[in-house]
């Protein structure tokens, strides 16, 4: 069965055009999104994702046009129509159609049902390379649709066989383009608390780590990251992904660390049992 999408109260075919050309998301880049998936047919940490989506909308001064309950029903309908056990959902909330190209009148709300992204088992086992990039996102707490820097650097990432960019500014690391960053110093797990999107996978990994490691949430310097024993990144699509090289500098011994792989195993077990 084909995938479908929800747009302002209606469920339609995924290939149907929805936005008009005077949407503030197109004209001004004024929009936000969120992205999550199911495990065993059950949306993962739905309450956390909805709370983050609400927070992003509040910070962008966009009124959500639907309730959490109505959204849950739409998700259930979209999931059933897909005919798939596992799907991903992408929320997009824009400023809507603005006659003067500036003021918000009524936001537009889109939910796309999407196939799961391609897994990267080799990356989870061997780790990935990232490139240092001097930048801090505007409104980092908001999951905006602005990914200009990632797109601009896409060819360079490919040329250097790197998977992502590591954002840093004034000697401090924040995040990757689409994921959070952790480092290990011995048995101490450290992650940044400034200029970041508060990732749901990040939150889950900290919960899993607390019984086993000292967890520090604080500003993290670039020097700390490049001299760390281990580093990894977390997101809906990356899960717990070892980072083994930053630019030309290997992290630790240049291999996926044993503590990182331990947390990876804990996360994989959690999602394997999700909803059961």
Contact (Cβ atoms closer than 8 angstroms) between residue 89 and residue 112: yes
Q: Residue for token digits 């001097």?
A: 134
Query: What is residue 120's predicted lDDT score, i.e. its pLDDT?
Result: 79
Query: What is residue 118's predicted lDDT score, i.e. its pLDDT?
Result: 76
Query: What is residue 276's predicted lDDT score, i.e. its pLDDT?
Result: 85
CATH code, domain carrying 225: 3.20.10.10
> 130-152 pLDDT, tens per residue?
999 999 999 999 999 999 999 99
Are residues 209 and 243 both part of a single domain? yes
CATH code, domain carrying 104: 3.30.470.10
Are residues 140 and 27 both part of a single domain? no
What is residue 222's three-state secondary structure?
Answer: helix
Contact (Cβ atoms closer than 8 angstroms) between residue 145 and residue 32: yes
Helical H runs in the chain?
Answer: 24-27, 46-59, 68-82, 121-126, 148-152, 154-159, 200-209, 222-226, 258-272
> 71-101 pLDDT, tens per residue?
999 999 999 999 999 999 999 999 999 999 9
What is residue 175's three-state secondary structure?
Answer: strand
Query: What is residue 1's predicted lDDT score, i.e. its pLDDT?
Result: 59
> Which residues in the chain land under pLDDT 50?
none
Are residues 91 and 169 both part of a single domain? no
Judged on CB neighbours under 10 Å (0-12, 13-18, 19+), 56 is buried
Residue numbers of the domain that contains 178: 121-272
DSSP 97: B
Are residues 142 and 110 both part of a single domain? no
Q: What is the C-alpha to C-alpha distance for residues 130 and 215, in angstroms, rounded to an integer? A: 23
Q: How many domains does one find in the chain?
A: 2
Other CB atoms within 10 A of residue 201 CB: 23
């Amino acid at each position: 069965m084909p995938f479908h999408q929800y747009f302002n109260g209606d469920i339609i075919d995924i290939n149907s055009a929805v936005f008009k050309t005077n949407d503030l998301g197109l004209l001004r880049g004024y929009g936000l999104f969120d992205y999550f998936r199911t495990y065993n047919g059950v949306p993962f940490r739905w309450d956390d994702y909805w709370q983050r989506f609400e927070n992003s909308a509040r910070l962008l001064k966009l009124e959500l046009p639907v309730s959490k309950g109505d959204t849950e029903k739409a998700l259930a309908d979209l999931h059933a129509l897909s005919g798939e056990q596992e799907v991903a959902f992408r929320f997009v909330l824009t400023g809507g159609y603005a006659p003067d190209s500036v003021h918000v009148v009524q936001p537009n709300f889109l939910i796309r049902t999407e196939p799961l992204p391609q897994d990267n088992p080799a990356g989870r086992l061997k780790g990935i390379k990232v490139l240092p990039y001097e930048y801090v996102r505007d409104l980092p707490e908001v999951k905006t649709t602005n990914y200009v820097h990632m797109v601009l650097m896409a060819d360079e990432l490919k040329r250097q066989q790197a998977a992502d960019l590591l954002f840093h500014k004034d000697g401090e690391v924040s995040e990757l383009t689409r994921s959070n960053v952790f480092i290990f110093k011995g048995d101490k797990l450290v992650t940044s608390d400034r200029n970041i999107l508060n990732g749901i996978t990040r939150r889950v990994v900290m919960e899993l780590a607390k019984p086993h490691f000292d967890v520090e949430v604080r500003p993290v310097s670039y020097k700390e990251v490049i001299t760390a024993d281990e580093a990894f990144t977390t997101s809906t699509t990356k899960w717990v992904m070892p980072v083994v090289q930053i630019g030309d500098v290997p992290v630790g011994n240049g291999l996926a660390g044993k503590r990182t792989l331990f947390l990876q195993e804990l996360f994989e077990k959690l999602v394997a049992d999700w909803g059961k």
